[in-house]
Structure 1
Amino acid sequence: MSFSIRLSPEERMLADSYAKLNSMSLSEAFKKALFEKIEDEYDLVIANEAYDEYVTSGKQSRPIEELWEELDL
């Protein structure tokens, strides 16, 4: 699949500079940026769900020293 986007001259210069700095084509740079953004947002959703689950479970955190002692570390 291919698509096109419109960039201002300044945006194009910035994108070209980023691609050159990272030794990749402009297409690769956009693809990498898109998938990194998707992954970051997905990770944030998962983290928020895990935190909400932790909070609603009523579990309490404890000092790491207690865990170390329990594991004889």
Structure 2
Amino acid sequence: MTVLSVRVNKEEENLLKQYAKINNISISQLLRDSAIEKIEDELDLKAYERAYEEYLKNPVTFSFEEVLKELVDEDDL
């Protein structure tokens, strides 16, 4: 496992320690989870933006029922 170093001032350190303590997690876990969550949020936003651009180019939509009908054989229902 790789070890990373993060520089914070005293006020930020205290905030991180308090938050980690309240949530019963280590500072390492807090920083790891926070970084991963931020990355995932940004990836989700970019995926949404690409999908929305595609929708604007071709605004065809399908209802849940239409998709279900296309994917599931009626004999299975």
Q: If the TM-score is normalised by the length of the shorter chain, which range does it land in?
A: 0.7 to 0.9
Instruction: Indicate the structure whose relative CO is greater, using CA pairs within 8 Å and at least 6 residues apart.
Output: 1
CA shift for structure 1 position 58: 3.7
Question: Which TM-score applies when normalising by structure 1?
Answer: 0.78
Query: Aligned to 2:18, what secondary structure does the other structure show?
Result: helix
Structure 2 unmatched runs, 5+? 67-77
**Which residue does 1:25 correspond to in 2?**
26
**Which residue does 1:10 correspond to in 2?**
11
**Which residue does 2:49 correspond to in 1?**
48
Opposite residue 40 of structure 1, the aligned amino acid is D
Aligned residue pair count:
66
CA shift for structure 1 position 17: 1.1
Opposite residue 18 of structure 2, the aligned amino acid is S
CA RMSD of aligned residues (A): 2.3
CA shift for structure 1 position 18: 1.1
Q: Which runs of 4+ in 1 moved over 6 A?
A: none
